[in-house]
Structure 1
Amino acid sequence: MPGAPVAQDQPVTFTAEEVEYDQNRALVVARGRVEAWQGNRVLRADEFTYDRNTGVATARGNVQLIEADGQVIFADSVELRNEFKDGVLEGLRGLLAQNGRVAAAGARRTGGTFFDLSRVVYSSCQPCQEDPLAPPVWQVRARTATLDQTARQVRYRDATVEFGGVPLLWTPYLQHPSASAPRQSGFLSPTFGITDYLGGFVETPYYWAIDESQDLLLRPMIATSNLPNLGLEYRRRFNFGEVAAEGSFGYLNGRENTPEGAGGHIFSRGNFAIDENWRAGFNYNWASSEDYLRVYRYGSRRLLDQNAFTEGFWGSNAYARIDGRAYQGLRSTDNNSLIPYVLPNIYADWQAQRDSLGGTFTIDTWNFAVFRDQGTSTQRASTRLAYNLPMYDHAGGLWTVRAQSDLSAYAYNDLAAAPNYSTTADNGTIGTANIRAALDWRMPFVRPAGEYGHQVIEPRIQVVAGPLTGNQSSVPNEDSIDFEFTDANLFQLNRFVGRDRQEGGTRIDYALRGAWYFPNGGMLEGLAGASYRIQNDGGPFYANSGVENRASDYVGRARLRPVSWLEFLGRGRFAQEDGSVRFLDLSTTASLGTGTSVTAGYLYTPAMPFLDPAQTRNEVAVGFTQQIGHWRFGAFARYDIELNRPVVVTASAGYEDECFLLEARFLKSFAEDTSTNSLYPASTMLLFRIGLKTIGDVGFRAI
């Protein structure tokens, strides 16, 4: 609706093609392209009359009233008085903020802040290009409406909401912020629904704009089968950062295997800039249970984290971070006394400029203290030095010399407990050192294929040498528990993601890569490789990891992109002895120019000893999205072949244009609580949402 009033203590100024002045009546009459303005408000018309005695201005013919915020009011005639503060308009039409459009038989403005409209129609939809007179997707038609320009609110009386010209909703009173309104306090559109755990429920959010830098959203929920729940969301911006937090509290009645009792949650975060190099922040997340979050629709999380940090950046050459971390497991099977908290965790690295040979030297340090109420507690200080020197020979081969040295010192307690279960030590201290050096050679052989593009065959061999490290069972393991041997880490000096486990001895890594690059941007690529350790030493690798033997499993990658919109990608690991599948990840993506995208995938991974429960994953997944004009559709499903049941199924459909939103979503999760062998609460969700842009939206949710 029209914007806020401007200052009214300025004189009226106008221009026109023809001006007459009746000195006896103090009457000014202007004709032809008349433009009058007072402050930032402009009036245009074919004819303009201004009575200097009464201060009454009258405009007729193609009248345009341009407000200070750019909104435009059209009228057949306008009479303004009291320094343009009061007026009467006939045949009003308006182009408002956010594409708002209004029409009324007549309107009256009072005090420069109130517009009273009669027989009014409002919509934010564009007219149909083929038939501009056709009804819009939606419009509000009311007997009267009042625009409060100070409060930036529009109030309708005896209002009907029409869709495609068909009245579907009547209300005696309707209020919403004007399209030009800034953020302001008030009730938001409610959400209705029904669930197995809450029964019927309604959520009526209230938004409180505290000031220009902070706000609060209250989300009270009333349910027929449970006590009320209150959710809150708070946000605040500073010149140097921001904070945001959401929380709730309520009571679960113990239905459908859910725990009974009071519950709540808080999710919060903050980020702050200290100076041009340093910033700090925090994340604090807590919940009474996973069931509470699911039942009251605050998300499905198994693990929550809390941390506070500060970090510094110095270009691309140096970085430092200090933080503290804690975690909360939410599943009924989680033992939080075994989950660690880390204080402090310190990391810093620095990279030198390239030396005269073209090599790069880096140094970093990673130190932490890990504590558990039950289980191993560890303190570690570690430093890594690394050097990388690439060189080309006359034949075009790339030789890379790499070296890496790790020094670590540990103090630990209860090493015989989880997660280490060491049989060689319990409490004590230990220091470790390891050095790895490698010579890496690769030679890309390129052959043109004429009009079919060009082909590349690239053999690669790397020799890595260093002292033996043994199984390292007397060294605490906090950052190297998770290990997966693939083509991605085949040529890493130390193939563990962390530093608590160090790979030792001498090995040879080898791979052959072939690729065919097509002129249309497509490609065909394949890679196969493996590793061979000189010493017959299993080292720190667990059984079935793929590198526990002298000859590793084979790893491979295959990619086919015949055209830009279609790609097949596969990665796998295969047993050295008989080629049986140890790991396989297949995916297909097709992105059609018609707005259709299809994905399909298959994943097989053996049971990993570091996961609880340790079980094989053997799954297929398929999904698609479709965009047709303003319509969009999507579906996704994942099926567990090992368990012979679905994992999750989702589907969605929606329509969205410049003024209207219609959305439907369905989700069915088949995840089970292993302690009760039952589906988790809120495992099924059905959501409907209707939105009238610039007015509000209404949602319905069934769970």
Structure 2
Amino acid sequence: MPGGRRTGQPSRNEPVTFTANEVEYDRDRALVTARGRVEAWQGDRILRADEFTYDRNTGVATVRGNVQVLEADGQVIFADSAVLSNNMRNAVVEGLRALLAQNGRMAAAGARRTDGTIFDLARVTYSSCNLCQDDPLAPPLWQLRARVATWDQTNRQVRYRDARVEFAGIPLLYTPYLQHPDGSAPRQSGFLSPTFGITRYLGGFLELPYYWAIDESQDLKVSPTISTRQVPNLGLEYRRRFNSGELQVAGSLGYNSGTDDGTESRGFVGHIFSRGRFSLDENWRTGFDFNRASSETYLRTWRYDARRVLSSSAFVEGFWGADGYARIDGRAYQGLSTTDDLSVTPYVLPNTYADYVMRDGIGGTFTIDTWNFAIFRDTGTDTRRASTRMTYELPFVEGVTGSAFTFRAQGDLAQYSYDKLNMAPNFVTGVAGSGTATQANIRMALDWRLPLVRSAGDWGSQMIEPRVQIVTGPNTGSQIRVPNEDSLDFEFTDANLFELNRFVGRDRQEGGTRIDAAMRGAWYFPNGGQVEALAGRSFRIAGDGGPFYTGSGLENRESDWVGRLRLSPVPWLTFLGRTRLDADTGERRFIDASATVTRGPTAVSAGYLFATAAPYLNPVRDREEVSLGVTQRIGQNWRVSASGRYDIGIQRPVSVAASAAYEDECFILEGRFVHRYAVDPTTNSEYASSTLLLIRLTLKTVGDFGFRAI
């Protein structure tokens, strides 16, 4: 059954070749008859039947018995019989069945094909569900039934009229018109499934997105949302791929009618999230991220990706294998919290970084880099910094005892110029004007480890590893007249116990001489499980160490104790905990613990977090939270889960969530509930859209339908 031209389809002008068990030609009637395992092909399309008759006078061909047509894209059409005309481009088909892409199945009592590509179908049934193995005649989980339908093979669409959706044979939904792709095309233009719901702010709403496949390299999704209480909102999402990169832009535009209490003003609102990445040559690439929004409330209200902070940047960077890297960029930030002071939000331009690594010829690894930036604020500190860092690392193993030694060295040099050091984020009193500062530091360390391993027979192997590191360098003092832009956030844990400079950035430098010590023990089981623990602390011998804040764990000569415990003796149990305890009293200062137990289809996870007040977090208070989550699989198709977080410090839940989902080869049903108890400090009430109820029903290959309430 040859048809019209499509990608991967034969041309109508290609010759038709066939084979059969026997061929009979009636000269008087100009009738060709082929019987027995008839197989004809034109290009990549194959026709099979029990009998094929062709009238050379009229050009009409008739095929009977087990008729099969195998398309080039993998789709298969079955029929009881068919009458072909107009050079086999038109057809009348009885008992049509079709296996479409993505497990789609279609059946019709009869069909008429015109122009080789359009099927007009009568009494149509469509589904992508597998039939019941025990009772193949039973109705599938869902199916579409329609009085008539049109299958457009050129545009790869199926359009139904007077259609109904049946579940287990019971009609539940009627629609006068329905259209969906036949599954053979990767992307097509058309309306996507709508989402509707109700919220306190929008009232009832309906989102009806339209997808436009512009060409092979770009597409656009337009998503208008209308509601009963607000002006319509328009969302857009554009994507394009180039030979050298890609571009993604998502945004929206709306109008805020304002509130009676004046917390929200009247006017146009919207957002834009964009990203671009482009290769310049084999070493260099460039890109940008531009993100802006009217407010976090706007993003939550209209169901866009809500974020607390939006960052924008433009950059050029180069890569030279694993040895060299360079980057220059500019950055801007937008805080969306109502408590954010936008006047102290920094602009970074330029920000440059480059490094080079030498691994051969010097006995170890030598790295040199430079990191320079200029930061501007409307009312806060303005900082310009030029800095460089050199590091050297040389590991070696002593052959008699097996001790592993590592020599490390690090040198930092930075030059600063600044304005308004007395303002955020530094708040240095008595310094109001401009100034300059130079900061240099050298750190050297010798790290010793002695891994002691022994066999435990059938129980695996055990290891004890003491580790001691001595670090020395000049005293760095308080560094109060050096602007602090990259070292505000600090947390002392086992992860940075052996770092030469335990501040996260370079604006704050650790000095003096100290000894770091830890004991690590592990038991490795034959089944791949393990139990591992570490405990350690740091002792300052000389110098004040640096400007560590009170409660950081490093403000005294003897640091707090830090520890880690990893417990996974069997595949179904995983526990990881980190802690920091007061050096004198053993009182907890930091605990971060999580555990997961998985037994068959059930998984339970729990977490606990405690952290003392840190001056760089707002509000400044102790944090203590617990969390619990449960996931359960029921059979092959069902999955349910529930989770929650509770803030012990303020005795209030943080969030609760629950979900249930069913999925098989043709159907998805999902329900989700989330409630967040966060309070807006400006109104002392919960944030807008703090509650979410989502119900999603998906008929695979047809579309999904969503209901959302917030």
The answer to whether structure 1 residue 205 and structure 2 residue 209 are counterparts is yes
Moved more, 488-497 or 145-154: 145-154
Structure 2 counterpart of 1:692, which letter? L
Where does residue 291 of structure 2 map in the other structure?
A: 285
Where does residue 349 of structure 1 map in the other structure?
A: 355
CA distance in 2, matches of 1:533, 1:182: 64
CA distance in 1, matches of 2:684, 2:542: 47
* Aligned counterparts, 1:40-439, within 5 A: 40-255=44-259, 259-261=264-266, 262-355=268-361, 357=363, 359-393=364-398, 394-423=400-429, 425-426=431-432, 427-439=434-446
Say whether the 8 Å CA contact 2:40–2:46 is kept in structure 1. yes
Structure 2 counterpart of 1:449, which letter? A
The answer to whether structure 1 residue 519 and structure 2 residue 526 are counterparts is yes
Structure 1 counterpart of 2:170, which letter? V
Q: Taking structure 1 as reference, are residues 182 and 452 closer, same or farther at Cα in structure 2, changes over 3 Å only?
A: closer
Moved more, 439-448 or 126-135: 126-135
Where does residue 473 of structure 2 map in the other structure?
A: 466
* Aligned counterparts, 1:504-583, within 5 A: 504-535=511-542, 537=544, 539-583=546-590
Structure 2 counterpart of 1:470, which letter? G
CA distance in 1, matches of 2:339, 2:696: 36
Q: Taking structure 1 as reference, are residues 266 and 396 closer, same or farther at Cα in structure 2, changes over 3 Å only?
A: same
Where does residue 647 of structure 1 map in the other structure?
A: 654
- 1:206-247 Cα distance to aligned partner (Å, 9 max, x none): 112222221111111111111111111111111111111111
CA distance in 2, matches of 1:627, 1:354: 54
The answer to whether structure 1 residue 485 and structure 2 residue 485 are counterparts is no
Three-state SS of the structure 2 residue aligned to 1:275 is coil
Aligned-residue offset at 1:451:
1.5
CA distance in 2, matches of 1:120, 1:104: 4
Moved more, 627-636 or 566-575: 627-636
Three-state SS of the structure 2 residue aligned to 1:292 is helix
The answer to whether structure 1 residue 31 and structure 2 residue 35 are counterparts is yes
Say whether the 8 Å CA contact 2:412–2:442 is kept in structure 1. yes
Structure 2 counterpart of 1:625, which letter? T
* Aligned counterparts, 1:599-610, within 5 A: 599-610=605-616
- 1:641-682 Cα distance to aligned partner (Å, 9 max, x none): 001011011111111122111111111011111111111100
Say whether the 8 Å CA contact 1:197–1:255 is kept in structure 2. no
Moved more, 316-325 or 574-583: 316-325
The answer to whether structure 1 residue 680 and structure 2 residue 684 are counterparts is no
Three-state SS of the structure 2 residue aligned to 1:534 is strand
Say whether the 8 Å CA contact 2:111–2:121 is kept in structure 1. yes
CA distance in 2, matches of 1:555, 1:694: 54
12, 16, 21: which one aligns with 2:16: 12
Say whether the 8 Å CA contact 1:118–1:144 is kept in structure 2. yes
Aligned-residue offset at 1:41:
2.5
CA distance in 1, matches of 2:521, 2:379: 51
CA distance in 2, matches of 1:299, 1:624: 26
- 1:476-514 Cα distance to aligned partner (Å, 9 max, x none): 110011111000000000001100000001000001111
Aligned-residue offset at 1:584:
0.5
CA distance in 2, matches of 1:143, 1:255: 51
CA distance in 1, matches of 2:387, 2:134: 71
CA distance in 2, matches of 1:102, 1:649: 43
5+ unaligned residues in a row in structure 2: which ranges? none
State percent identity of aligned pairs.
66
Structure 2 counterpart of 1:602, which letter? Y
- 1:330-357 Cα distance to aligned partner (Å, 9 max, x none): 1221111101010111111111123363
- 1:152-191 Cα distance to aligned partner (Å, 9 max, x none): 2211112111111111111222122222134222211111
CA distance in 1, matches of 2:404, 2:431: 45
Aligned residues: 700
CA distance in 2, matches of 1:239, 1:656: 37
Aligned-residue offset at 1:448:
1.5
Where does residue 22 of structure 1 map in the other structure?
A: 26
Three-state SS of the structure 1 residue aligned to 2:46 is strand
Three-state SS of the structure 1 residue aligned to 2:316 is strand
Structure 1 counterpart of 2:463, which letter? V
Three-state SS of the structure 1 residue aligned to 2:569 is strand
The answer to whether structure 1 residue 613 and structure 2 residue 619 are counterparts is yes
Structure 2 counterpart of 1:379, which letter? R
CA distance in 1, matches of 2:72, 2:29: 32
Structure 2 counterpart of 1:691, which letter? T
Moved more, 202-211 or 686-695: 202-211
